[in-house]
Amino acid sequence: MNFVSSIVLVDIALLAMLGVVAVAIIRLKSLFAIVMLSGVYSLVSATWFVAMDAVDVAFTEAAVGAGISTALMLGAMLLTARRVKTPDKAGARRWGPFLAVFATGGLLIFASTDLPAFGDPNSPANSYVGKDYIERTPSEVGPPNIVTAVLASYRGFDTFGETVVIFAAGVAVALLIGFGERALAFSGQRSVTPEPVSPDDHHMVLRVVSKLLIPLIALYAFYVQFHGDYGPGGGFQAGVIFAVAVILNALIFGLSETMDAVPAGAARAGAAFGVLLYGGVGVVNLLNGGAFLDYDYLFETPAPGSYDPHHWGQHFGILLVELGVLATVASTMIVIFYAFAGRAPEIRDEDW
């Protein structure tokens, strides 16, 4: 079986599913169903990314879009609402969106007629800078995973910015809904163990299994981290996985217990540390006489004309930078989860 055509088949099937999911979301009123389907949407697009050879993207989308986003939306729903209300008035509200959307769509279709054919290896996008990266990475940076090389070295400043975006999200959520400090107060109020809802409400299997799994997940996070040079993965994905381990712990063993083990303050420090580490690598390069984030200058100023076949500077630069990303992403995700999970519902906004 010709695998190119099989990929086309999968491509069409997945795109069709995406369309069905998206249209279904328009009609649905149950927020829970909407959130579930948006998770499905992310998941299907992640699968599609795999079919399109974008394994790193698929990795991130599966972890972030299908995992973290869904968890956050569920957490937010606990604090807000569970159904969408039907608006009283229609009319103008109906047609405005239609017009805006169709204008946008029309412009997009207009543009698409001049886009290069799908899969064209000679399109400008695939033949200029993109191709250069593939050809030059082995001799200039080193890692087999070109996405890692581009992400951390060629376009390292983008990634620095991206780390800061995540950090900013953590700062924003902490400023808006706190660090989950209310969880501690909440559990303090309920020091008496509450009555079980029903006799079959026990989860011994889950507890035992999770206890086994959580260290394994953390280990897997480090595998993804250090394997990022050779396969899909890297700091972001590893950070998310690490956060998932903590989130699982919180879900099974309780939030305040988890906050004793991984305090919010430590997570905050971790997030800041990641940004400082990333920026610090850049500053070290500056001090050694290179440009900001030029990892060739990580250890010393290279002699003019010298060539390091091992790319030690690049290698360790990428390693350190990805560690910074790991620290920030993992810590920020934990902070955000604490913030949402730790906010007791229906508390009026008396502070500030």
Partner 1 sequence: MSWFAEYLWAPAALADHAAALIVAAPLIAAAAVAMAPNGRFAWVMTLATAGFCFWMALSLAGDIGRDGLVSYALGGWAPPMGIEFRADALNAMILLLIGMIAVLACIFSLPAVEREVRAEKRPLFYSAFLICLAGLLGMTITGDAFNLFVFLEISSISTYVLVALGASRDRRALPSAFNYLIMGTIGATFFVIGVGFLYAATGTLNMADIAARIAVMEENRAVHAGFAFIVVGLGLKAAMYPLHQWLPGAYAYAPSFVTVFLSATATKAAFYALVRFLFSVFNPQTFPFAETLLVWVLAPLAGIAIVACSFQAAFQTDVRRILAYSSVAQVGYMLLGVATGTALGLSAGMFHLLNHSLMKGALFMAIGGAALYAPCSKLTDLAGAGKKAPWTMSAFAVAGLSLIGFPLTAGFLSKWRLLEASLDVGWMWAVAIIGLASVLAAIYVGRVLEAAFFREAPEGGPDIREAPLLVLAPLWTLAIMNIWFGIDSSLPLGLAQAGADAVFSGVYALTGSAP
Partner 2 sequence: MPDYVLSHYNYWVVIVLMMVGLYIVFESGNLIKRLVGLSIFQTSVFLLYISLGKVAGGTAPILIGGGHGGDKSHGGDESHGAEGAHAVEAVDAHAGGHGGAHDAAHGAEHAAEILYSNPLPHVLILTAIVVGVATLSVGLAISVRIREAYGSVENDEIRAADISLGEAEETAA
Partner 3 sequence: MADIAAFFAHWAEPLRVWLGTALALAGGVLVTIGAVGVLRFPDFYTRLHAASVTDTMGATLLLLGMALLAGWSLVTFKLALIWMFLFLTSPTASHAAANAAHTAGLEPIVGRWRGDDKSEDGA
Question: Smallest distance from the beta carbon of 346 to partner 1, in angstroms?
Answer: 16
* Strand partners of residue 30: 83
Question: Smallest distance from the beta carbon of 20 to partner 3, in angstroms?
Answer: 14
Hey, which residues between 11 and 30 contact partner 2 (CB under 8 A)?
Answer: 11-12, 15-16, 18-19, 22-23, 25-26
To the nearest 10°, the Cα dihedral for 146, 148, 152, 155? Answer: 40
Is residue 342 within 8 Å of 180, Cβ to Cβ? yes
CA angle, residues 43, 206, 242, in degrees to nearest 5: 50
Q: Of these, 71, 252, 275, 326, which contacts partner 1 (CB under 8 A)?
A: 275
The tokens describing 161, both together, are 């910015």
Alpha carbon separation from 236 to 115, 167, 172, 223, 284 (Å, rounded) = 31, 12, 19, 13, 23
In the complex, the residues that contact partner 3 under the rule CB under 8 A are 29-30, 32-33, 82-83, 197-198, 200-201, 205-206, 209, 213
Determine if 200 is a binding residue for partner 1 (CB under 8 A): no
Q: Of these, 79, 276, 284, 344, which contacts partner 1 (CB under 8 A)?
A: 276
**Among residues 197 and 303, whose Cβ is nearest to partner 3?**
197
Of 34-42, 241-249, 266-274, 287-295: span binding partner 2 (CB under 8 A): 34-42
**Among residues 82 and 131, whose Cβ is nearest to partner 3?**
82
33 binds, among partner 2, partner 3, partner 1, none (CB under 5 to 8 A by kind): partner 3
49 binds, among partner 1, partner 2, partner 3, none (CB under 5 to 8 A by kind): partner 2
Determine if 175 is a binding residue for partner 1 (CB under 8 A): yes
Question: Smallest distance from the beta carbon of 253 to partner 3, in angstroms?
Answer: 16
Could you write out the DSSP letters of every residue in 125-142? HHHTHHHHHHHHHHHHT-
The tokens describing 84, both together, are 């969408």
**Among residues 199 and 309, whose Cβ is nearest to partner 2?**
309
Determine if 290 is a binding residue for partner 1 (CB under 8 A): yes
Question: Smallest distance from the beta carbon of 177 to partner 2, in angstroms?
Answer: 5
268 binds, among partner 2, partner 3, partner 1, none (CB under 5 to 8 A by kind): partner 1
Interface characters, 321-350, with partner 2 (x: CB under 8 A)? --------x------x--xx--x--xxxx-
Could you write out the DSSP letters of every residue in 175-242? HHHTTSHHHHHHHHHT-SPPPPSSTT---HHHHHHHHHHHHHHHHHHHHHHHHTTTSS--HHHHHHHH
Determine if 147 is a binding residue for partner 2 (CB under 8 A): yes
**How long a stretch of residues is the chain?**
352
110 binds, among partner 2, partner 1, partner 3, none (CB under 5 to 8 A by kind): partner 1
**Helical packing angle, 204-227 and 235-253, nearest 10°:** 170
Characterize 138-170 residue by residue with b for buried, 16 or more Cβ atoms within 10 angstroms of its Cβ, and e for exposed.
eebbbbebbbbbbbbbbebeebbebbbebbeeb
Which amino acid is located at 303 in the chain? A
Residue with tokens 């595998």: 223
Hey, which residues between 169 and 188 contact partner 2 (CB under 8 A)?
Answer: 169, 172-173, 176-177
Q: Measured between alpha carbons, how far is 145 from 237 in angstroms, rounded to an integer?
A: 15
- Residues at the interface with partner 1 (CB under 8 A): 107-108, 110-116, 123-130, 132-133, 136, 153-158, 160-162, 164-165, 167-169, 171-172, 174-176, 268-269, 271-276, 279-280, 282-283, 286, 290-297, 349, 351-352
